Amino acid sequence: MKNKFKLIAGPCLAESKELLQEIAETLNPIAIELDFDFIFKASYRKANRTSGNSFTGIGDLQALQYISEIANSINRQSITDIHETSEAEIAASYVDILQIPAFLCRQTALLESAGKTGKIVNIKKGQFLAPDDMKKQADKVFHIGGKEVWLTERGTTFGYHDLVVDFRSLIIMKETGLPVIYDATHSLQQPGGGEQSGGLRQYIAPLAKAAVACGIDGIFIETHPYPHLAKSDAATQFPLDRMRDFLHELADIHSLVSKS
């Protein structure tokens, strides 16, 4: 039986329980309608802010508890990112999937600590790394006893303050035999260049459609009911009220690709 298309979606940051609940309860019926495997995401803390003055979170354990509660309430898996080895075991007691940020994807100890938990590990490809090098990062998780690894594309550094997606990378990473995810929002960030990262939200939908046409296994997207008010990654979070139409378009493309 073929695996369902993965939808990793939620806000960038766990700003409040109310926000998490609104987003999860909006997306879950859409995922049921489209038969997507919906994984609820949120960062419990933002460890790599552009400015030291930026908001980083409401408190680690409080945020993790909210993420876990909301995902369980809709009977879905949850995912969050970790940044240090000491965080792996703590986060694993709350969520189902541990995510390795792109900046940290080569950190052997971090990958091993995630693998030791027995959880699924989603590794984001570093902006500085070639797609064929991602198998080596996955092997670090498997070597320590990890059971399942996903790989996520999130763009490559393209000069200062910009990223670009080489869609060949999706196909190259698929050759590993591991599930490949496309990060539709972070791929369009414009890192740094001010007090916070910028971004090109207007390209999220067309590039996501292109990625799905490449035969990927899932999409990662951050969404917010009021993106301009988001406390993290305001420039690239997708409007929540546009998600239904957007996801239906992706489902149509995925259906066509699956039949080819």
Does 39 fall in a domain? yes
| CATH number for position 159 | 3.20.20.70
Contact 41, 77 (CB under 8 A): no
Does 1 fall in a domain? no
Does 106 fall in a domain? yes
Helix (H, G, I), strand (E, B) or coil at 204: helix
Contact 180, 170 (CB under 8 A): yes
Residue type, 79: I
- pTM equals 0.94
Q: Give kind and range of the element (H or E) at residue 198.
A: strand 198-199
Q: Tell me how far apart the alpha carbons of residues 227 and 13 are, in angstroms, rounded to a whole number.
A: 12
Q: The domain containing residue 243 runs over which residues?
A: 6-259
> Strands 149-153, 120-124: parallel, antiparallel or unpaired by DSSP?
parallel
pLDDT tens-digit profile, the chain (260 residues): 578 999 999 999 999 999 999 999 999 999 999 999 999 999 999 876 555 666 778 999 999 999 999 999 999 999 999 999 999 999 999 999 999 999 999 999 999 999 999 999 999 999 999 999 999 999 999 999 999 999 999 999 888 888 899 999 999 999 999 999 999 999 898 876 555 667 888 999 999 999 999 999 999 999 999 999 999 888 899 999 999 999 999 999 999 999 87
Q: Which of 226, 241, 167, 232 is nearest to 199 (CA)?
A: 232
> Could you give the number of structural domains in the chain?
1
Q: Which of 48, 64, 58, 116 is nearest to 88 (CA)?
A: 116
